[in-house]
């Protein structure tokens, strides 16, 4: 079955020493320059995590995107909100691939390979967005979980964020951060 929406693949790692029982309140921060995408990612991921019993705070609600905080100021904002975990979603880039096909038989494609010909072309474009996800323990700043995500074939920030949020939940369930496979 082929889906019309975005498709995300997520590869994860978790610290063998980490315990997740004390991570109930998560600050969700999108590290994306486009404020619309950042807001959409933070909102979608917060909603998904809330559905599994986490308390979440969107970083855009407590951290000004235009201000560069010192380490101490950032730590103060986080601890003042009672945050136990910080989830960073860092945009790693977008790759656009174009596929061109003549729409002809293999013999015509062979002839094109052997000699250059002109004609109508079919061009298909695929966009892949790469994100790095990291969950930190707020009290120590240690990374306790990481994920590498790639989302294919979407242009809408909502579809992109929803697909990422769904895979994040699956990754959290797989790695034992979420104990139940069912939303609350």
Q: Look at residue 1 and tell me whether its pLDDT is greater than 70.
A: no
CA 161 from chain center: how many Å?
7
- Per residue in 53-80, pLDDT (tens digit) is 999 999 999 999 889 999 999 999 999 9
pLDDT score for 3: 43
Token pair for 45: 């991921």
Taking the C-alpha atoms of 82, 161, 15 and 20 in order, what is their torsion angle to the nearest 10 degrees?
40
**Among the ranges 20-29, 106-115, 119-128, 151-160, which has the highest mean pLDDT value?**
20-29
Average pLDDT rounded to a whole number, residues 109-132: 66
pLDDT score for 2: 38
HSE at residue 31, side-chain half, CA atoms within 13 A, is 14
pLDDT score for 114: 63
Band the pLDDT of 107: cuts 50, 70, 90.
Answer: low
Lowest-confidence range among 59-63, 72-76, 89-93, 99-103?
A: 99-103
First to last CA, the chain: 28
- Per residue in 2-59, pLDDT (tens digit) is 344 678 889 999 999 888 888 999 999 999 999 999 999 999 999 999 999 999 999 9
Neighbours of 141 (CB within 10 A): 11
């Amino acid at each position: 079955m082929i889906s019309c929406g975005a498709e995300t693949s997520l590869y994860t790692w978790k610290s063998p020493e980490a315990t997740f029982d004390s991570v109930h309140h998560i600050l969700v921060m999108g590290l994306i320059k486009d404020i619309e995408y950042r807001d959409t990612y933070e909102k979608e991921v917060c909603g998904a995590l809330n559905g599994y019993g986490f308390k979440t705070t969107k970083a855009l609600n407590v951290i000004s995107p235009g201000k560069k905080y010192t380490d101490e100021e950032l730590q103060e904002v986080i601890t003042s909100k009672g945050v136990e975990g910080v989830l960073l979603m860092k945009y790693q880039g977008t790759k656009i691939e174009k596929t061109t096909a003549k729409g002809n038989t293999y013999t015509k494609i062979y002839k094109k390979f052997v000699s250059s010909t002109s004609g109508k072309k079919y061009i298909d474009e695929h966009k892949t967005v790469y994100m790095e996800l990291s969950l930190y323990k707020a009290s120590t700043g240690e990374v306790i979980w990481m994920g590498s995500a790639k989302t294919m074939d979407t242009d809408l920030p909502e579809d992109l964020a929803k697909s990422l949020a769904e895979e994040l939940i699956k990754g959290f369930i797989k790695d034992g951060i979420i104990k139940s496979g069912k939303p609350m």
